[in-house]
Structure 1
Amino acid sequence: MTQSHRRAGTSRRPFPSSIASSIPSSVRPLAAFARTAVLAGFPLCTTLAFAQAADAPEQSLPSVTVSAKQEVDIGPQLQKKASGGALGSRSQLDTPFSTTVVTGEDLADRQVTKVGDVFFNDASVSDNSNGNNAWASYTTVRGLQLDWRNAYKINGMPFIAYGITMPYEQLEQVELLKGASGFMYGFGNPGGTVNYVTKKPTDKFTASVELGYRSSHVWTEHIDVGGRAGPNDMFGYRLNLTHEEGKPANAIGINRNTVSLGLDARITRDLTWTFDSIYQDRNTWGATPSFYLGSLAGTQLPGVISGRGGLYAGPDTHFYSNLQVYQTGLRYTLNPDWTVSTTYSFSKQARSRNESTFFLADAAGNYSSSRYDGAENQQFSNWTTMVEGKFRTGPFRHELVAGLSWQKQIDRYTSNFYNNFSLASGNLNGPYTGIHYSDTVFQKYRAGDTEQKSAFVSDTMHLTDKWSVLAGVRVTNYDQGSYTGTGVGDTNYKKNGLLTPTAAIMFKPMPSTTLYASYVESFDGGGVVASNYLNAGQGLTPAKSRQYEVGAKTDQGFWTGTAALFRIERRSEFSRDNGAGVLPSFVQDGKSVYQGLELAASSRIGSQWEVGGSTMFLHTEYTEGDTNIGNRVAGAPNFMLTGRVAYRIPFVPGLKVGVDGKYTGPMKADAANNLNLGGYTVFNLGATYNTRVAGKDLTLRAALTNLTNKRYWGFQYENYAQPADPRAISLSAKIAY
């Protein structure tokens, strides 16, 4: 990495004649050179010093070292800030929990198209998602499936992520807070919280146009424009537009249109207004279906099959989704130590889906299929006000965060829908013959309301320059109602004063290293059972989960490393089989425990090489309940390993190539531990080339996912599996103005 310096305001006048006449004749050639250098724009003092040094060889110049920190692009980005909800925004290095930040540039280099690929290089995260059907947001962290109702945020504000594939080319970064987050964000699954950060206005004008191609035949166009306008650059803007259309590798059609807009106004020196929005219509056809294992005779799964689109679904199947997000806020700086902010967010999501589920009957691949054809939608309103400040009490420094939050979620489900459990039967080795085209105008009823009102406060107290402690608590009033549309079976759960505390102690032996121990509680579960279960619409009762974690983080410039030892205790939730050809029920029963060790590191080797990797060792167990005690938790692998290598080609400036790989260990497909899913390894290749053409920045990217076209049965949900996405290539060209 290079660094240049320029002295502003330097005069370019030639030497005065009095100075020139006083220079000895033996030095006048150097003086002439100095005069020419000054006319060319070099500072006079620097040029005279050079001439004097050249005339006095017996004096040696003092050594000057110019250096700049070389960040490691691969691995933990510990200096990057991440939203911590009620903790405020702080760097990963100063956060006493395990976190991951994936930059927008990394997403672009790897040509990410679904949430499971976002965290491909994090061994704590396993992919259960399919970017083209209702399972788009299914992801497992530390062996726990993330909650699509509460685990996903946009700019720190909640939204319903069910079936949503985000426009990753329009994101600044994606943040993952692993483990329970009750204090930070309120109710949610203890697996973790994903926060999508949209692109913000830029201080200088920027504009880019990008054209992309993805197999088997998808074309993408993307425009990104940002900058500032008005008196004193008062107003900022960032506009992104994307159109995507064609045939993906694991479906037969996609059409997507996305627009995101970010605005801000520096109303005064201390007061800033912001606005962020996303509007996306995303429609897919013929996506690979899901495979239900609960009706399988015996314990042997059929041989793995291809996940290529069109094999088991035709143009009659579809998944249509619409996402709308609107956020606005004010931030006021009272003084350098205190700020007050308030933010309101409204989001709504609608989906219409005509999708198949195959009920596997035996190891030979025989199946019966069901077809669900219906529609659902949700909306989410959230308002949060926070105050953040720094103060002292005697010798102790404090960082205080306090606030109030209100949120309301409304679920609407289809009251009339097509749900055929015997649409077609067949064998995986033959073509699928089931056909059903939608012909119904769906009517929806209000299936559920969930409201949370909370107050939170945390204090990070610095006892010395090295020792600090964190204490925080959130108090929540929770009100949940679920309705059947008929009035029969309606339920309501309401409880006030629910406490979710957190505490941590941190030790920094040096500014670049943090050792910590933390504890946090959370209420998970709740909400309404999704429509793909027999007990759809049933209200679920929230329950408390607990997490204990001890960890270390260090950033030494040319290498970084993290380690975390954790234990999570939560109530068990899983699907229960109701017999062949019948949808399962979603039940809450007993308790499960997750204990594990996470390790991650990355390093820059010389100026060309970067290497990184991570691993997770995990032990899970059902410890309480009517059944399954002592069994491993479904979908939780015992071991995962990732590795990544990048190389900058020295004789082709701007060209970087890389390869990454991920091993996912064997896991149990069901809570009864009757079905095993084998381990598998996936490799990806990538290349990025940065250059300039006609004065414009040109970036060329290529990515090859699932390099070996590996086939495997991947865990999707308890008793559900999916075939691997087939090999696919992505190419893009971006010109920045």
Structure 2
Amino acid sequence: MNNEERQKTTRRTTRTHPRPLRIAAWLTFAAAAQSAFGQTAAQEGAAAPASGATAAASGKAAVSADGALPAVQVNATSVSDTPLHLETPVSNGALGTRSQIDTPFSTTVVTGEDLADRQANKLGDVFAGDASVTDNSSAYSAWATYITVRGLAIDWQNGFKIDGNPFISYGITMPYENLERVELLKGLGGFMYGFAAPGGVVNYVTKTPGKDPVTSFDVGYRMDGVLTQHADLSRRFGPDGMFGARINYTHEQGKTYNAGNINRNSVALALDGQLTRDLDVYFNAIYQQSRSSGQTPSIYIPGTYTGSSLPATISGGTNWLDSAGQHLNTNLQLYTAGVKYQIAPDWTFNTSASYSKVARDRNESTLTLLNQAGDYTDTRWNGDEGHQDIYWQGTFEGKVKTGPFAHQLVFGAAVQRQTNDYGTAASTIYDTLGAGNLYEPNPYAYYSGSGLAKYRASEINQKALFVSDTVQLTSRWSVLAGLRYTNYDQETFSEAGATTAAYGKNGVITPTFALMYKLDPLTTIYTSYVESLEAGQVVADTYANAGSVLNPLRSRQYEVGIKTEHGRWSANAALFRIERGATYTNSQNVLTQDGTSIYEGIEAGGSVRLGRDWQVAGDVMLLDTWYAKGQTYNGKRVAGAPQFTAAARVTYDVPLVPGLQLGADAKYTGNTEVRPAGDLQTGGYMLVNVGANYMTRIGGHDVTLRAAVDNLANRRYWLFQYDSYIAPGEPRTVSLNAKIDF
């Protein structure tokens, strides 16, 4: 190590605490901006006619039964909501349900209508407007749910929930048409959800029966020839509408943008019963079968790669990389039953149990890149995998007073058993097919059947008790304290059933603390601290130490933020620092733990209604990361963490054509280190998307027409997927959809 490198390392590793002056300066700026921005928006709102403000808040126009176009009418909920949805209730696991604005952590909510307008096709599309989220996903492949949040990957084993219930997300693309909204808790979820990586937690919220009947049908088209049909039916029946039922069905089939094929069927059922004034019961089920072929392979950058930069970019729409025989077939099943009981006016008891089952049949290539000219070796992996999750949780939520203080209490317990089944050595193939080049058609083929043999490879058991108390000290000040106590056991097995590795620990404590201040009823300033522990990783077959189990990693997060929501504008901002044990692949292709990864950053976003017709939203993240206290990469940037990202969206309600809304959004992702050695970057890139939505009335029925063009400029770029893995970004795609409500 030369003197310059040694000085750089010293500077980096001494930054072990948040910068108080920067935090104070940012909060001062945020409070001042909130005050000034609020006055400006209020003046604009006062200047606009009342009917115009109402129409602008909705962004949608109603049409009379005879086809005329009257003034827009919306309900009060629509008027108060903004694109950030800060007053929307979100699930926080052990914290219970509270609005985003009252949650002392950074969160994002994307509603079902947002998903429909964006015509999301993978998880990266869902959070396209959030600068803290980097898209690492590829549609129609096992990578479809890969994203990083604040530079940290979300754990596909523990970071995904459906209605708060765990399931294994690997290879599963959710039917977004069947969802009410998607929630993202950024950063550590240890207290709220138990063992999980610190990237965050994604919670898919399914549609349930409401008080009003729903009958809708929509059809869609996506390049190059994927057709979708979706039906949504909801009814209440019985005395006083005691029982409710809602069913959503989606079928998707056709040729994808890279000459692959998709055939997916998904059905979601939600039943509920309001048995008494205080007692509700419910049952939810999801079943999805998906078969796809022709996936674009991932590209692995080994330590032996020669070249100072990545090869020239290629289009994600090419099928030259898709060696014949590749496919991904998945099956998802989730069944949930629960009871909600109002014990007293201020106390409720909730309990639920769920069972999820995920199966995968994969035949996929990994291209090991050799040099900057694009030469590679094609290695094919083929096998079957399966996972099961059994989960139970019970909570008491209520309010009490002790002297002048009001308490919001949550007590609960949870039990989870996860099993993982992987292919036997005899039925799993991992072979090199041959050599090729990125800029020439891949000539290799490997075909395989399904129903290959599996064995019980590992089992994870968690039992947890948790408690939290949010104390209202004054009308403005409140403090939160929470504690989760977990007994954790993890075992891996040989094909013969013998235990090959085990980790167990009782009494794992993951605390959280927060201090909140209400600047006004619609503005919260907070500071929070949370810890998390993630399960030890079972090393995959692609590494030299395949089959070994790494130690669990503890993470810590410090955050200071502000959230504010108003009728015509909303904003949020946060400073954060995350400390996590570093895991990476070394030059000997060994997956190892060494030192600590540090993530420090600022994220800020806002949305404002300008006049009657314009809505402008923006989001930005500045991120500083480095490895510290290790033996190899001290001071280098953490792989997969861009230093700068920014997103913006503009929508325009066309006054001459009531019901027509035009929109455009853009997202810039800064250059990203591909591997911990810090010698290769993906390069920064910006994607621009445009779209239009038109609401009208045909034959006495509400009709919504939607069109979207993603990657308008057909930009070619390298997408970071995982440590030392990249893929070509998706090409320009066109999506169309027509929905009718009966």
C-alpha change, 1:284 and 1:69, in structure 2 (3 Å) is closer
In structure 1, the partner of 2:617 is 612
How far, CA to CA, are the matches of 2:287 and 2:632 in structure 1? 45
Q: Answer yes or no: is 1:563 the counterpart of 2:568.
A: no
| SS of residue in 2 equivalent to 1:150 | coil
Q: 1:299 aligns with which of 299, 308, 314?
A: 308
CA deviations over 1:18-71 (Å, ceiling 9, x no partner): xxxxxxxxxxxxxxxxxxxxxxxxxxxxxxxxxxxxxxxxxxxxxxxx996864
2:476: which partner in 1?
Answer: 466
SS of match in other structure, 1:519: strand
Residue 572 of structure 1 is matched in structure 2 by: 582
**Does the C-alpha gap of structure 1 residues 91 and 313 become closer, same or farther in structure 2, counting only changes over 3 Å?**
same
Tell me how far apart the structure 1 counterparts of residues 237 and 546 of structure 2 sit (CA, whole Å): 51
Secondary structure (helix, strand or coil) at the match of 2:598 reads strand
Candidates 277, 281, 292, aligned match of 1:284: 292
Q: Give the conservation status (yes or no) of the 8 Å contact 2:398–2:409.
A: yes
1:214-253 to 2 correspondence within 5 Å?
Answer: 214-253=222-261
Q: How does 1:424-503 map to 2 (within 5 A)?
A: 424-439=434-449, 441-486=451-496, 490-503=500-513
Deviations 1:331-356 (A, max 9, x none): 00012210001010110100011101
Q: How far is the alpha carbon of 1:588 from its aligned partner?
A: 2.2
Tell me which amino acid in the other structure corresponds to 2:465: A
1:90 aligns with 2:98: yes
AA aligned opposite 1:522:
S
**Does the residue aligned with 1:86 lie in a helix, a strand or coil?**
helix
The alpha-carbon distance between structure 1 residues 74 and 510, as it changes in their structure 2 partners (threshold 3 A), is: closer
Residues 141 and 251 (structure 1), Cα distance of their counterparts in 2 relative to 1, 3 Å cut? farther
1:273 Cα deviation after fit:
0.4
Shift, 1:556, TM fit:
2.2
Q: How many pairs align?
A: 671
Q: SS at 2:227's partner residue?
A: strand
- Equivalent residue in structure 2 for 1:599, among 577, 591, 604: 604
Q: What do the CA deviations read for 1:392-436 (whole angstroms, capped 9, x no partner)? A: 111111100110000010000001344344202111111101100
Is 1:651 the equivalent of 2:656?
yes
How far did 1:576 drift? 3.5
CA distance in 2, matches of 1:539, 1:74: 46
- Matched with 2:268 is 260
Partner Cα distance (1:656, 1:329) in 2: 40
2:6 aligns with none
Cα deviation 1:254-277 (Å, max 9, x = unaligned):
000000001101111100001111
Aligned-pair CA distance for 1:570: 0.6
Conservation of the 8 A alpha-carbon contact between 2:350 and 2:394: yes
**Uncovered stretches (5+) of structure 1, i.e. residues with no partner:** 4-65, 579-583
Query: Which residue does 2:344 correspond to in 1?
Result: 335
The aligned counterpart of 1:706 is 711
Moved more, 524-533 or 178-187: 524-533
Which structure is higher in RCO with an 8 Å CA cutoff and minimum separation 6?
2
What does residue 382 of structure 1 align with?
391
**Secondary structure at 1:677 match in 2:** coil
Q: Give, in whole Å, the separation in 2 of the partners of 1:118 and 1:730.
A: 15
Q: Which deviations, in whole Å up to 9, do the C-alpha atoms of 1:139-169 show, x marking residues without a partner?
A: 1000001110111111011111111111111
Residue 740 (structure 2) aligns with: 735
Corresponding position of 1:135: 143
C-alpha offsets along residues 341-383 of structure 1, whole Å, 9 cap, x if unaligned? 1010110100011101111111111111100011111011110
User: Which amino acid in the other structure matches residue 178 of structure 1?
Assistant: K
* Segment of structure 1 superposing worse, 227-236 or 434-443: 434-443
Query: Residues 289 and 355 of structure 1 are in contact (CA less than 8 Å); yes or no, is this contact kept in structure 2?
Result: yes
Q: Distance in 2 between matches of 1:678 and 1:543?
A: 30
Measure, in 1, the Cα distance between the counterparts of 2:386 and 2:547: 13
Distance 2:143 2:578 in 1: 25
Deviation (angstroms), 1:132: 1.5
Q: Deviations over 1:567-615 (max 9, x none)?
A: 000111223354xxxxx44332221110000000000011100000100
Find the counterpart in structure 2 of residue 635 from structure 1.
640
Structure 1 residues 611, 215: CA separation in 2 closer, same or farther (over 3 Å shift)?
same
Deviation at 1:489, TM superposition (A): 7.2
Q: Partner amino acid for 2:223?
A: S
Q: Which moved more, 1:480-489 or 1:163-172?
A: 480-489
- 1:177 aligned partner, one-letter code: L
Please say if residues 82 and 567 of structure 2, whose CA atoms lie closer than 8 Å, have aligned partners that are also in contact. no
Q: Kindly tell me: are residues 265 and 697 of structure 1, through their superposed partners in 2, closer, same or farther at Cα, counting changes over 3 Å?
A: same
Name which of structure 1's ranges 226-235 and 413-422 shifts more when overlaid on structure 2.
413-422
Partner of 2:357 in structure 1? 348
Distance 1:74 1:266, change over 3 A: closer
Equivalent-residue separation in structure 2 for 1:337 and 1:177 (angstroms): 26
Task: Establish whether residue 516 from structure 1 lines up as the match of residue 521 from structure 2.
Answer: no
Percentage of pairs with the same residue: 51
Seen in structure 2, the aligned counterparts of structure 1 residues 380 and 577 have a Cα distance that, compared at 3 Å, is: farther
CA contact (8 A) 2:246 2:269 kept: yes
Query: CA 1:441–1:561 in 2, change beyond 3 Å: closer, same or farther?
Result: closer
Relative to structure 1, the CA distance from residue 594 to residue 80 in structure 2 (aligned partners, 3 Å threshold; closer, same or farther) is: same
Tell me the equivalent position of 2:198.
Answer: 190
- Is contact 2:81–2:87 with CA below 8 Å preserved after alignment? no
1:49 is aligned to none
> Which amino acid in structure 2 is aligned with residue 262 of structure 1?
A
Alpha-carbon distance in 2 for matches of 1:73, 1:112 = 21
In structure 2, distance between residues paired with 1:531 and 1:262: 39
Equivalence for 2:699: 694
Distance (Å, rounded) in 1 between the aligned partners of 2:81 and 2:291:
34
Give the aligned partner of residue 369 of structure 1. Answer: 378
By how many angstroms is 1:73 displaced? 6.5
Closer/same/farther in 2, CA of residues 199 and 67 from structure 1, 3 Å limit: closer
The change in CA–CA distance for 1:222 and 1:522 in structure 2 (over 3 A counts) is same
Partner of residue 622 from structure 1, selected from 623, 627, 631:
627
2:514 to 499, 504, 510: 504
How far the C-alpha of 1:527 sits from its partner, in A, is 4.5
Farther off after superposition, 623-632 or 656-665: 623-632
Q: Is the 8 A contact 1:448 1:483 kept in 2?
A: yes
Q: Contact 2:491–2:499 (CA<8 Å) still a contact in 1? A: no
Q: Kindly name which structure, 1 or 2, has the bigger radius of gyration based on alpha carbons.
A: 1
Query: In 1, are the aligned partners of 2:82 and 2:570 still within 8 Å (CA)?
Result: no
1:107-186 correspondence runs (5 A): 107-186=115-194
What letter is aligned with 2:305?
Answer: L
Matches within 5 A, 1:57-72: 71=79
Identify the residue that residue 107 of structure 2 maps to in structure 1.
99
Contact 2:384 2:450 (C-alpha < 8 Å) held by counterparts = no
Q: Report the Cα distance in structure 2 between the residues aligned to 1:385 and 1:70, rounded to whole angstroms.
A: 33
- Coordinate RMSD, CA, aligned: 1.8
Structure 1 pair 409–70 and aligned structure 2 pair: CA distance change class (3 A): closer
CA–CA distance in 2 between the matches of 1:722 and 1:489?
A: 36
Task: Determine helix, strand or coil for the equivalent of 2:628.
Answer: strand
Distance 1:690 1:315, change over 3 A: farther
- Taking the aligned partners of 2:694 and 2:590, their CA distance within structure 1 comes to 51
Give the TM-score normalised by structure 2: 0.88
Q: Which residue of 1 aligns with 2:13?
A: none
Find the partner of 1:211 among 214, 219, 241.
219
Preserved contact between residue 450 and residue 527 of structure 1 (Cα < 8 Å): no
**C-alpha distance in structure 2 between counterparts of 1:400 and 1:305, whole Å:** 54
Which one is further off, 297-306 or 77-86? Answer: 297-306
